Amino acid sequence: MGRVVILALGSRGDVEPCVALAGALRQDGHDVVFHALDDFRNLVGRAGIDFASMRTSLPRPGQASRAVDWAMRHAHRHPLVAVAGVGLWLKGVATDIARSVTRRTRPTDTVISGILTLDTALALRAALGCRVAVALFAPCLPTREGPSLIEPLRPAHTSVLNRAGGTLAWSAGAWWSRPGGAAARRELGLTGRRTERSFLGPPDVPVLLAASRLLVPVAADWGTEVRLTGPWHTPAPDRQDVPEGLARFLEEGPAPVFASFGSVGLVSDVPLFLEAATTAGVRLVTTVPRGSGTTPGRVGATAYVVDEVPHAWLLPRTAAIIHHGGAGTTTAALRSGVPSTAVPHQFDQHYYARRLALLGVGPVPVPRRKLDSAGLARTMAAMTRAPEAVEYRRRALRVSAEAVGERGTEEALRVLRAARLI
């Protein structure tokens, strides 16, 4: 069996699905080297996968450059701010990541890369002859079909305008990968040479779109290289892998609302969630934002702040879910059978927020820039005890029955075998 190198640059939503794929590859008899940021060393290590540090971490408030720090705090205000902030951060860490990846990749390897390392993967193919596949968790591929595109100009229609907008969105994502590709070419002795076309559309490599068919309709014009596999997820852990204090909190009262904005969360979110939950009269579980210094544990009698907890275990034990609309959290919420809604901040989060509302599992989304405590309290009440809460839960249970039947990693292995990549 050959070796597979996974380039999982990004937040937990980019890493955790790749851990599930890596586990399936190992079970299939393949050696796996897993490149990710230092933040995820324990997550990858607990799965028994060979972790290769990218020698850097996610930017944290007050620890990044002034420009990146400002962009992190204001990314939800305008898409261009978010695009620029990610680009600046990637430029700063490109050399460290390229050195890590190029030194642990061999010519016989298959490289599975996300969009942030796409140009790095293409450089490895040009220099070493590696086989390459692209893993995506949101439909950023150009298409005429609005429901299958994260940034459509005509969301409910088929239009050439959508394809133009999709090409622009793909180009922005591929542009993020350019500093890493340039650094990888220097490390590999390809200085002065572009690797391959990657900025006007998907490259000529297989694309695995690890998303649920419930959320992402297959676009007829994606072509044969694009395969919607279904989401990649790991089994829910046992209780002993969950903080004991959280487990006791859940057992001591009614199911709480889970509210968290994941990797895009700000320090100010915790008091916002606490105030809204008090107003709505619900119990609350929320998460520690990066860099906040908040200590996990109980907050009063009706709230619990947790550092890290598997969504597959926690979300089915809640009454409602309010999140940022990231691909991984959205999928976990669908599988839970619990009403959910998103407060989108940036990028694909707006797409997944729209798709959740169309499924009818929660209220119409409110963008982060328009969110306040009173509105959040109304959302919590609507999802837990207002008349419409019964319908949200009925639809959430129906969708969950379909979502848990998806076998994304099994389909991904079939696609990789058919393409002779494993």
Mean predicted confidence (pLDDT) in 251-257: 96
Residues 410 and 390 in one domain: no
Q: Which residue is it, tokens 């169309």?
A: 358
Instruction: Kindly report the average pLDDT of the chain as a whole number.
Output: 88
Q: Enumerate the H helices of 229-296 as residue ranges.
A: 244-251, 269-280
Concatenated DSSP letters of 109-140? -EEEE-GGGHHHHHHHHHHH--EEEEEESS--
Query: Residue 167: what pLDDT?
Result: 87
Range in 107-111, 116-120, 231-235 with the lowest mean pLDDT: 231-235
* Residues facing 287 on adjacent strands: 306
Query: Residue 195: what pLDDT?
Result: 52
Q: What is the CATH number of the domain that holds 365?
A: 3.40.50.2000
Query: Residue 11: what pLDDT?
Result: 87
Residues 159 and 194 in one domain: yes
Helices 160-176 and 79-103: angle between axes, nearest 10 degrees: 50
- pLDDT tens string 26-80: 999 999 999 999 999 999 998 899 999 998 887 665 656 666 666 566 666 666 6
Query: Residue 320: what pLDDT?
Result: 98
- pLDDT tens string 113-165: 999 999 999 999 999 999 999 999 999 899 999 999 998 989 889 999 999 88
- pLDDT tens string 303-349: 999 987 888 899 999 999 999 999 989 999 999 999 999 999 888 89
Single-letter amino acid, residue 355: R
Residues 221 and 90 in one domain: yes
Strand order in the sheet with 257-259: 297-299, 303-306, 284-287, 257-259, 320-323, 340-342
Whether the predicted pLDDT of 285 surpasses 90: yes
Residues 149 and 185 in one domain: yes
Residues 129 and 145 in one domain: yes
Query: Residue 282: what pLDDT?
Result: 97
Residues 200 and 340 in one domain: no
- pLDDT tens string 157-214: 999 999 988 888 888 788 889 999 999 999 999 876 555 555 556 678 899 999 999 9
Mean predicted confidence (pLDDT) in 380-406: 95
Residues 380 and 414 in one domain: no
Residues 225 and 293 in one domain: no
Structural domain boundaries, residue 412: 3-231+406-418
Q: How many domains does the structure of the chain reveal?
A: 2
Residues 165 and 273 in one domain: no
Residues 72 and 191 in one domain: yes
Instruction: Tell me the torsion sign for CA atoms 150, 154, 158, 161.
Output: negative
- Is 190 in a helix, a strand, or coil? coil
Query: Residue 330: what pLDDT?
Result: 95
Residues 178 and 298 in one domain: no
Query: Which pTM does this prediction carry?
Result: 0.88
Query: Residue 148: what pLDDT?
Result: 95
Q: What phi, psi does 292 have (nearest 5°)?
A: -80, -25
